[in-house]
Amino acid sequence: MVEVRLENIVKRFGETVALKGISLHIKHGELFTLLGPSGCGKSTTLRIIAGLDYPTEGKVFFGDQDVTNLSSSDRGAVLVFQNYALWPHMSVFDNVAYGLRIRKLPKGEVEKRVKWALELVKLQGFEDRYPTQLSGGQQQRVAIARALVVEPKLLLLDEPLSNLDAKLRLEMRSEIRRIQRELGITVLYVTHDQEEAMAISDRIAVMNVGTVEQVGSPREIYEHPKTEFVASFMGKTNVIPAKVTEREGDRVTVEFESFRLEGLTYSGEKDDVVIVIRPERISLHPVEDAITLEGTVDLVEYYGFFVEVIGVFGERRIIARTISTREVSVIRPTQPIKFYIRRDDILVLPKQL
């Protein structure tokens, strides 16, 4: 188990700059997730930590040891590949035993450890099968067993669930969490799915085109996004471009369309801002310390246990999400509506995109 530090990692592929100077600190025993859209540099970061790629600039530390120039085989940071990379010419047993045999463990020990690893991923009895005879989820488990059996300092998972169907995805997600807890190992997890990231992680780093935008616990990231990108990436949300018109310390007045929102908190320098409001934080009933927006109903979308009411305010459409109660069921398009939002739930962030 190990702490990982990345210091100012830059990675260029010819003209492309895949990573623009990334620093991260992954703590001992935590499940740390890199989250970001496809192409933002997650895999590259992972491969640099695994030693499969070398950074153009910057350093990688495992604990106090500078491993930047250490080859992959000497690092002990084991990667589970997105496509599992199981060797088709070897049985499940041989796949899992591979790393142990490289380490020249005695035969009995190899058998014991492989058995342990396959039990851990609940695949006992599959030793003699070949990868092509396994389902996607089983292949995934073999890949994880193969990585865990060598007792890696750090387990790296690159979008491990992306090739599985929806049901298996949920199952494997909790499996991975269970194994990580059981073994107490440090896991670096990569995904582009924010829901998955929030469900599984101790901490998340949100990445965007080669940079880390924010690091924090799932709750911090969701509730206190530091940038417009993070806010909009973490689930469906209302992002409304606006202007700061008055300031008094952190207290600002912000205007959009013909609406004027007073008493919001903002300490940024730019006057071009966005207002971020989570749909579920909009109430259709008056609440305390709230601002009120008056508009008309455009659309009501029914999702079963909740309902989304889309209101039009001037030209701006804003989504509110609420539990589908009887009162809500009478709301019809074109009728007037009032959205109540607590000032605490309105985020003002510098305009970014």
Partner 1 sequence: MKSNWSERLFGTPKFEPLVATSYLFPLLYLLFFLIIPVLAMLAIAFTYNGSLSLHWFREIFSFNSDYIKLPSTWSLFQSVKMPGTGETLYIIQGLDFGIVLNSIIVASVVTLLASFIGTIFAFLMARYTFPGKNLFRILLFIPLLVTPFVSAYVVQQIFSEYGIVSSILHALFGFRVRVDGLAGIALAQSITYYPIVYLNAYASFINIDPSLEEQAENLGSRGFHLFRTVTFPLALPGIAAGATLVFIFSLEDLAAPIVFHSNDLAKRIMSYQIFSKFLFGTGERSPLIAALAIVMLTLAIIAFLGIRKYVSLRQYAMLSKGGRWSPRVSKPRIGQALIIYLLLLPLLLFTITPQVGVVQLAFTEQHRIVTNVTDITASVTGVMYPTGSITNGTLVTPKGGWFFQGTVKGYSDSIGVINGSISGFFVGKVTVNNGEVKLTGDISYADFQGLASRYNGTIHTQMKGPITGTGELLSGGTVNLTSTRFKATMFNIPAGQVSKFSFNYVKQMILTPDVRRYIVNSLLYSTVAVILIVLLSITSSYATSRFKGALTPVLESIVILPMAVPGIVVAMGYFYFFHLVFPGTPLDPISPATFNPAYVLILAYSVRRLPFAARSVYAGLQQVHVSLEEASMNLGASRWKTVTGIVLPLISLNVFGGAMLSFVYAMSETSVGITLGSLNMAKAPITAFMKEVLLSAAGSINIAAALGVLLITVQIISIVLVNVITKQRYSFIGLS
Ligand X SMILES: Nc1ncnc2c1ncn2[C@@H]1O[C@H](COP(=O)(O)OP(=O)(O)O)[C@@H](O)[C@H]1O
d(CA 186, CA 237): 32
Q: Give the interface segment with ligand X, choosing from 12-20, 100-108, 230-238, 327-335 (CB under 6 A).
A: 12-20
d(CA 39, CA 136): 24
Mark residue 237 as left, alpha or beta (left: phi above 0; alpha: psi -120 to 50; beta: remaining).
beta
Residue 143 C-beta: closest distance to ligand X, Å: 17
d(CA 131, CA 283): 52
Structure tokens given for 125: 């009895």
Task: Write down the residue that tokens 């990569």 correspond to.
Answer: 190
281 contributes a contact to ligand X by CB under 6 A: no
**Residue 304 DSSP symbol:** S
83 contributes a contact to ligand X by CB under 6 A: no
Residue 212 C-beta: closest distance to partner 1, Å: 21
Binding ligand X by CB under 6 A: which of 18, 35, 100, 187?
18
Q: Which of 263, 202, 85, 73 is nearest to 150 (CA)?
A: 73
Size of the site for ligand X (CB under 6 A): 11
131 contributes a contact to partner 1 by CB under 8 A: no
89 contributes a contact to partner 1 by CB under 8 A: yes
Cα distances from 233 to residues 128, 157, 205, 278, 284, in angstroms, run: 44, 21, 12, 12, 25
Binding partner 1 by CB under 8 A: which of 40, 92, 145, 147?
147
**The dihedral sign for the CA sequence 147, 149, 152, 154:** positive
Which H or E run includes 138?
helix 136-148
Binding flags for partner 1, 170-209, as an x/- string (CB under 8 A): ----------------------------------------
Instruction: Compare residues 84 and 313 and give the one whose CB is closer to ligand X.
Output: 84
d(CA 182, CA 116): 13
Structure tokens given for 130: 């070949």
3-state secondary structure of 285: coil
263 contributes a contact to ligand X by CB under 6 A: no
Which of the residues 321 through 350 are near ligand X (CB under 6 A)? none
Residues 6 or more apart whose Cβ sits within 8 Å of residue 10: 17, 19, 20, 21, 22, 55, 56, 57, 58
Residue 37 C-beta: closest distance to ligand X, Å: 7
Which of the residues 56 through 75 are near partner 1 (CB under 8 A)? 56-57, 68-69, 71-74
* Residue 18 contact, options partner 1, Mg ion, ligand X, none, Cβ 5-8 Å cut-off depending on partner type: ligand X
* Residue 71 contact, options Mg ion, ligand X, partner 1, none, Cβ 5-8 Å cut-off depending on partner type: partner 1
Instruction: Compare residues 98 and 340 and give the one whose CB is closer to partner 1.
Output: 98
Structure tokens given for 3: 């702490």
Instruction: Compare residues 41 and 311 and give the one whose CB is closer to ligand X.
Output: 41
Q: Where are the alpha helices (DSSP H) in the chain?
A: 42-50, 92-102, 107-120, 136-148, 166-183, 194-200, 218-223, 228-233
* Residue 99 contact, options partner 1, ligand X, Mg ion, none, Cβ 5-8 Å cut-off depending on partner type: partner 1
d(CA 87, CA 326): 57
Binding flags for ligand X, 26-65, as an x/- string (CB under 6 A): ----------x-xxxxxxx---------------------
Residues that bind partner 1 (CB under 8 A): 50-52, 54-57, 68-69, 71-74, 76-79, 81-83, 85, 87-89, 98-99, 102-103, 146-147, 150
- Contact residues: ligand X, CB under 6 A: 13, 16, 18, 36, 38-44
